[in-house]
Every structure is written in C-alpha cells, then in structure tokens.
Amino acid sequence: MTDTDALRRILTHYERVAIVGLSAEPSKPSNQVARYLLDKGFEVIPVNPKYDEVLGRRCYPDLNAIPTSVDIVDLFQRSERVPPFVEAAIDIGAKVIWMQLDIEHDESAEKARAAGLEVVMDRCIKIEYARLFDNADTAGVDTGAI
C-alpha cells in the first residue's frame, strides 16, 4: 500500500499496535519504533517470547496470547517468517498487517486482504507517521534513523 490517504486513515483510526519481534534493547529499531508510537499516544503491545516485559508493558509470547483486541500487527520479522504471523493476525481479528522496511510477502498479503485486513508492506510505521503528521526534520526521517 502506498496510498497516502489510506496510510493517514490507518494511523489516525487505529491505536492498538502489537509489535511482533519487539526487542528490549533500546538500540534496536523495533524498540525505537515502539517508544515513538508510545510518545504519539498509541497503545503498544509487545510480542516476543524472549521477554516477560518490554518498555514497562507485559510482553506476550505470541499474538494469540494477547487478551485484548488488536488493531495493527506490526511485524519485525524476516519475510520468510511472515505467514504464521499473518495467520495469527487473521485469527485474532486484527484490522491491519504492517510489515516493516524490507519485509514483503505477497502470498500472505493476499491472504490477509481476502480475510478483510488492510496490508502495508516494506514501510516503517514510525517513518510514515512522521512523514504524514510530524515535522520530518525533528522526527528522524531526514537523518536516516528509523
């Protein structure tokens, strides 16, 4: 999806984001993205079987363990690992699959769309939010930082 209006709608309409592969390490892109989203008022749900807690929030081992509804499933996973996460996102009733930079999986995207989910591939949710709503110079977009 490259439609600016659709990206803007997704980022204003949905607020609960499950970040699959969220690292507790502050230098990792997933952690930086999560902190940015928290600063912007999103509810971030960490998903990573390695941790009990990330950024002061309970961390879940998988999407199916999350006890609340999820709007956006943000994937920090290699492309070849995407299919089971898309299946789980469909199972839990997520609204959007968001695959971070350099992550694409056409078959899974097609399956998600057929199940009624919106799909964003090869885009950083932080960069897109900053591009659409923040001053790009202060949001890290021009620096090359995620």
**Residue 78 within a domain:** yes
Predicted confidence (pLDDT) per residue in 87-145, tens digit: 999 999 999 999 999 999 999 999 999 999 999 999 999 999 999 998 654 444 444 44
Q: In angstroms, rounded to a whole number, what is the distance separating the alpha carbons of residues 87 and 83?
A: 6
- For the cut 90, the answer to whether the pLDDT of residue 23 exceeds it is yes
- The pLDDT value given to residue 26: 97
What is the tally of structural domains in the chain?
1
**Residue 143 within a domain:** no
CATH code at 79? Answer: 3.40.50.720
- The pLDDT value given to residue 141: 45
What mean pLDDT comes out for the span 66-75?
98
Predicted confidence (pLDDT) per residue in 101-112, tens digit: 999 999 999 999
- The pLDDT value given to residue 134: 86
- The pLDDT value given to residue 139: 46
Q: Name the residue range of residue 61's domain.
A: 4-136
For the chain, give the DSSP string. Answer: ---HHHHHHHHHH--EEEEET--S-TTSHHHHHHHHHHHTT-EEEEE-TT-SEETTEE-BSSGGG--S--SEEEE-S-GGGHHHHHHHHHHHT-SEEEE-TT---HHHHHHHHHTT-EEE-S--HHHHHHHHHS-HHHHTTTTT--
**Residue 17 within a domain:** yes
What mean pLDDT comes out for the span 3-8?
94
